[in-house]
Chains A and B, each alone.
Chain A
Amino acid sequence: MLIIDCPWCGARPEIEFRYGGEAHIARPADPAAMSDQEWADFLYNRTNPKGLHAERWRHIHGCGRYFNAVRDTVSDFFVTTYKAGEPRPDIGESGK
């Protein structure tokens, strides 16, 4: 089980959290202006990297809030967590 550091509550076991998928995918401001391909990219296409991944987590059985994390998908090591709305920390593209 992973130990995840909620920016509000501190380190807690994984079962208190829900995974929220890739972070920093903003809903387009004007969906009607987009092509079908752009809309599909937004809805479905994901980076799915082998290495560092910026992702959303929700502390559902704690404070209930969403936050972001950078995790290495090769080792599952959490490099950092940060509050929603903050930019992705600059720690390179890939852990491997």
Chain B
Amino acid sequence: MQKFSGFELFRRALGGHKSWQPQWRNPEPKAEYDVIIVGAGGHGLAAAYYLAKEHGITRVAVIERGWLGGGNTGRNTTIVRSNYLFDESAALYEHAVKLWEGLSTDLNYNVMYSARGVLMLAHNHHDEISFKRHVHANRLNGVDNEWLSAEQVKEFCPPLNIRSMRYPIIGGALQRRGGTARHDAVAWGFARAADSRGVDIIQNCEVTGIRRGPGGAVEGVETSKGFIRAKKVGVSAAGHTSVVMAMAGVRMPLESYPLQALVSEPVKPAFPTVVMSNTIHAYISQSDKGEMVIGAGTDAYTSYSQRGALHVTTHTLDAICELVPQFRRLRMLRNWGGIVDVTPDRSPIIAKTPVPGLYVNCGWGTGGFKATPGSGNVFAHTIARDEPHKINAPFTLERFRDGFLIDEAAAAAVAH
């Protein structure tokens, strides 16, 4: 791997930047691997990277039906935070935030993690007591989160209109260590670092079947490039998880919904933080390119179409225009959708499955980008040791059978 540094940039500039090599190989699949990961999103690539780095397992292939990072990883609004209510969730997301903080150095790749704060707005009494409950629960878990009055909200984020709107802002919960990261760079950084440790990333190769032996255990995967043998297969296919797991005969507690986002034309720095409002349903931050990045809620129905209805984004823009009236004059540049896999309790599943050798990481729904490094890290552990890390131990498939839901949905912290 060619290291990136200021000195290297300068040295290669002298040669007209002609000596840079591609950041990863494009290998043909081998006949057999120790581990196959299905899906080269951020989560799958991170799992492959940590398998190689922390568990010494380098005979690993990541198999991707499209291009790496072309799924939800490349489509999300990149909000990173860890102020979830329940102990299990706080531990999981906080594990990820700690990794985010050192990720650029670890990967030798600038993932542009920007801890500019995530501010969740309260518009009514219910929001206020729910956020204050989160603040207290977070404090007990060592996760930063603080309550701001309406005036403090205005001071922290001056472009916000706090009063002259239908649901005025009465306060907010701020996690200062939260923020955003560059989504593509996260996929590329993990891909490059995994590739340099020997992981084969095989793009344009769809997994079409999971082959099981006479005893039921996994033997490998059928793909559009033929059969590839492996005793361990980790599925990290986000919106397509139900489809892939059905290949092994496993029914999942998942439904796949379109989730849309859109960006404005780029403008000068005008919005200092990430603002989210669950109540009037809008999320906004400004990318380093200058675009306002805006996220909507999921569409109403399950779909694999990667597009949603216009009334859903319009609804979000109505809220944005109330929150930040000067943005009414912004023109929207692009909108798109991703397919998110939603569990009944809005918490992920990172676990072994009833099929020996088959592991699954899914159910991140509308909010899994923030967990990318942490999720990959504990998923790698689960695959390598054939047992969960203590952080993901509660996030099993069996929790739905045994009644141990981690009900972030009811805790009203379902947003990104």
Contacts and interface: CB of A to CB of B under 8 A. Distances in A.
Interface of A: 1-2, 14-15, 17-19, 21, 36-37, 39-41, 43-50, 53, 55, 71, 73-76
Contacts of B344: 43-44
Given A2-B309, A73-B305, A75-B305, A46 B242 contact: yes
B305 A48 contact: no
B401 A37 contact: yes
Given A1-B310, A14-B309, A48 B400 contact: no
A36 to B, nearest CB: 5
Given A45-B252, A49-B242, A14 B311 contact: yes
B231 interface: no
Contacts of B309: 1-2, 14
Contacts of B252: 45-46, 48
The winner among A37, A41, A43, A50 for most chain B CB atoms within 10 A is A50
Contacts of B251: 41, 45-47
A19 B223 CA distance: 34
A79 B391 CA distance: 44
**B contact residues, range:** 20 to 34
Nearest to A14: B309
Interface in B301-316: 301-305, 309-311
The winner among A36, A48, A50 for most chain B CB atoms within 10 A is A48
Contacts of B305: 73-76
Contacts of B300: 14, 17-19
A43 B405 CA distance: 13
A21 B167 CA distance: 31
B277 to A, nearest CB: 21
13 contacts: A14-B300, A18-B300, A43-B344, A45-B253, A46-B242, A46-B251, A48-B252, A50-B240, A53-B302, A73-B303, A73-B305, A75-B305, A76-B305
Contact of A1 (B240, B253, B311): B311
Given A46-B254, A46-B255, 6 more contacts: A1-B311, A44-B400, A46-B253, A73-B303, A73-B305, A76-B301
Contacts of A44: 253, 344, 400
B122 to A, nearest CB: 27
The 4 A-B pairs of least Cβ separation, nearest first, read A48-B242, A44-B253, A40-B401, A19-B300
Nearest to A74: B304
Contacts, number: 68
Contacts of B236: none
Contacts of B301: 2, 19, 55, 71, 76
Given A55-B301, A73-B305, A48 B255 contact: yes
Contact of B256 (A15, A45, A48): A48
Interface in B277-316: 300-305, 309-311
Nearest to B251: A45
Contacts of A48: 242-243, 252, 254-256, 302
Interface in B372-409: 400-403
B302 A36 contact: no
A36 B311 contact: no
Given A45-B252, A46-B252, A49-B242, A15 B311 contact: yes
Contact of B302 (A14, A15, A55): A55
A82 to B, nearest CB: 17
A50 B304 contact: yes
Interface in B322-348: 344
Contacts of A36: 401-403
Interface in B253-291: 253-256
Contacts of A45: 251-253, 400
A91 to B, nearest CB: 18
